[in-house]
């Protein structure tokens, strides 16, 4: 394998092809961004994008399989299944490029759903796919239509260059990854589209990421007597409770940092297990609403976990801390605030940084860029754990750079997606193995 990685002719032809066809890569990304595929649980609108991809795969002579999650045997009873979603007209998509059967197989996976455009103001049309300088803007451009487009682009490259592989190459576009979904990824595994290894084309910032942090999201409801006057005096409502909660939250964050054993792929982080308040909602805003002290407050709390932590211990630690707030002598709480978990438990997960998938992908990235590729854990949860923990498939995250992910004016950096495509195309040839080809083959 190292001979292929260091083969200057192979690298040069990979780079030359991608540079020459870069406009086609950008076109695919723009096409996908311009087709909204928002996930708004329990519903989603991924079908039009999946149909676009299916047509492109058919044009390559492949046989795309568009299938409903509801028809996958065993899905709804699997331990990793998350109930409560509606999968009407939301198909998964997969296609297999058969190899000679003598090489290692590889699965290229990604999710086609995006978060909604949101209510925050955009300075560019969310589905316009506008290019300005090195940036391509639009909902899902970075997360992760750039990655899906890259996977389709490399399949087109193999076809155009008449390259045959020794091992199978599988293209997969799944639905319902956002909002803690992962049922689309689970369905692909149960339907049998598995391989010796998988690359999930999340935006990894050109880092090889064999690990993901886990995540737990809690909705916490504070309640107290409100109004402006309450029992003849100015009411305090939930303001005292909210102030107390936010002040004591610092101790919970510090407890997490001091107690949790850090995984080696996260030791470079200043805060490997962050605790964040992501939403605070009290009274409706505006002069159409009365001026009053709020009596209800909803807090969305999101904290992340390390590989090895279990759901039971993470939740037990949280509730022990919350109960300690209620039991403090100066506590404004008369009882524990109501807590619900709106999104599934997302476990942290990792494989060894010395796994062949990791080391060979890193070597290909270094061959393309000319410098060592960082091997680190990604900063948030995704569906990586389904491959690693649910089915024992070595899997990593690999993709381009971008910013404002899940926010307004989301964008993808164009030069980085071109570099990601070069690395991926080289790696596919290395991992799957190049077969002998006919006289019309482009590569020797």
* Tens-place pLDDT, residues 171-180: 999 999 999 8
Determine the Cα–Cα distance for residues 363 and 152; give it in Å rounded to an integer.
Answer: 22
The percent of residues above 70 in pLDDT, for the chain, comes to: 94
Q: Check residue 436 and give its pLDDT.
A: 47
Judge whether 174 and 111 are in contact, CB under 8 Å. yes
Distance from C-alpha of 92 to C-alpha of 184, rounded to nearest angstrom: 7
- How far is 347 from 213, CA to CA, in rounded Å? 7
Q: Which residues contact 381 (CB under 8 A, 6 or more apart)?
A: 180, 212, 213, 214, 215, 304, 346, 347, 348
User: Which secondary structure element, helix H or strand E, spans residue 58, and what is its range?
Assistant: helix 47-59
Residue 408, CA distances (Å) to 138, 278, 310, 413, 416 in order:
8, 16, 34, 16, 21
Question: DSSP 3-state assignment of 152?
Answer: helix
Cα–Cα dist 396/210, whole Å: 4
User: Under a CB-based contact definition with an 8 Å cutoff, are residues 176 and 234 in contact?
Assistant: no
Query: 236: pLDDT confidence band, cut at 50, 70 and 90?
Result: low
CB 340 within 8 A of CB 218: yes
Enclosing H/E stretch for 200: strand 198-200
Residue owning tokens 């505006």: 286
Q: Which pLDDT value is given to residue 289?
A: 84
Which band of pLDDT confidence, cut at 50, 70 and 90, is reported for residue 9? confident
- Tell me the mean pLDDT in the region 111-115: 98
User: What is residue 231's predicted lDDT score, i.e. its pLDDT?
Assistant: 57
Residue 435 confidence (pLDDT)? 73
96 within 8 A of 170, measured Cβ to Cβ:
yes
Asked whether 336 and 222 are in contact (CB, 8 A), the reply is: no
**Contact by Cβ (8 Å): 148, 399:** no
Tokens, residue 246: 């936010």
Find, among 392, 374, 255, the residue nearest to 316 by Cα. 255
pLDDT at 439 over 50: no
Q: pLDDT tens digits, residue range 169-215?
A: 999 999 999 998 899 999 999 999 999 999 999 999 999 999 999 99
In the block, tokens 């880092």 appear at: 207
Neighbours of 223 (CB within 10 A): 17
Residue written as token pair 């084309």: 201
pLDDT in tens, 362-375: 999 999 999 999 99
Contact 393, 386 (CB under 8 A): no
266 vs 294: which has the higher pLDDT: 266
């Amino acid at each position: 394998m190292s001979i292929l990685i260091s083969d200057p002719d192979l690298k040069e032809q990979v780079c030359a092809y991608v540079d020459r066809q870069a406009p086609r890569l950008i076109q695919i990304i723009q096409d996908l961004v311009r087709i909204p595929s928002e996930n708004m649980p329990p519903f989603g609108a991924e079908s039009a994008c999946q149909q676009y991809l299916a047509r492109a795969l058919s044009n390559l002579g492949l046989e795309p399989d568009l299938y409903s999650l509801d028809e996958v045997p065993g899905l709804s009873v699997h331990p990793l299944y998350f109930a409560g979603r509606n999968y009407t007209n939301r198909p998964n998509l997969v296609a297999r490029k058969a190899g000679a059967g003598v090489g290692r197989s590889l699965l290229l996976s990604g999710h086609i759903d995006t978060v909604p455009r949101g209510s925050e103001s955009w300075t560019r049309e969310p589905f316009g796919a506008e290019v300005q300088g090195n940036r391509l803007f639009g909902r899902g451009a970075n997360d992760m239509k750039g990655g899906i487009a890259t996977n389709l682009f490399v399949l087109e490259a193999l076809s155009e260059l008449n390259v045959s592989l020794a091992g199978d190459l599988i293209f997969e576009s799944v639905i319902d990854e956002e909002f803690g979904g992962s049922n689309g990824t689970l369905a692909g595994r149960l339907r049998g589209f598995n391989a010796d290894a998988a690359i999930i084309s999340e935006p990894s910032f050109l880092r090889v990421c064999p690990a993901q942090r886990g995540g737990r999201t809690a909705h916490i409801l504070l309640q107290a007597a409100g109004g402006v006057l309450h029992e003849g005096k100015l009411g305090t409502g939930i303001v005292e409770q909210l102030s107390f909660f936010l002040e004591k939250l610092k101790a919970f964050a510090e407890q997490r940092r001091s107690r949790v054993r850090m995984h080696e792929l996260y030791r470079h982080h200043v805060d490997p297990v962050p605790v964040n308040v992501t939403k605070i909602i009290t009274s409706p805003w505006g002069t159409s609403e009365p001026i009053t002290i709020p009596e209800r407050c909803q807090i969305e709390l999101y904290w992340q976990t390390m590989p090895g932590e279990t759901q039971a211990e993470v939740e037990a630690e949280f509730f022990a801390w919350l109960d300690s707030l209620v039991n403090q002598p100066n506590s404004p709480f008369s009882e524990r605030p109501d807590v619900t978990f709106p999104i599934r438990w997302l476990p942290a997960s990792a494989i060894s940084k010395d796994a062949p998938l990791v080391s060979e992908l890193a070597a290909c990235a270094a061959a393309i860029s000319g410098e060592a590729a960082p091997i680190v854990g990604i900063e948030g949860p995704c569906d990586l754990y389904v491959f690693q923990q649910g089915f024992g498939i070595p899997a990593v995250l690999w993709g381009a750079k971008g910013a404002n992910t899940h926010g307004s004016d989301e964008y993808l950096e164009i030069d980085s997606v071109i570099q990601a495509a070069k690395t991926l195309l080289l790696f596919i040839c290395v991992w799957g193995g190049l077969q002998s080809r006919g006289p019309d083959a482009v590569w020797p």
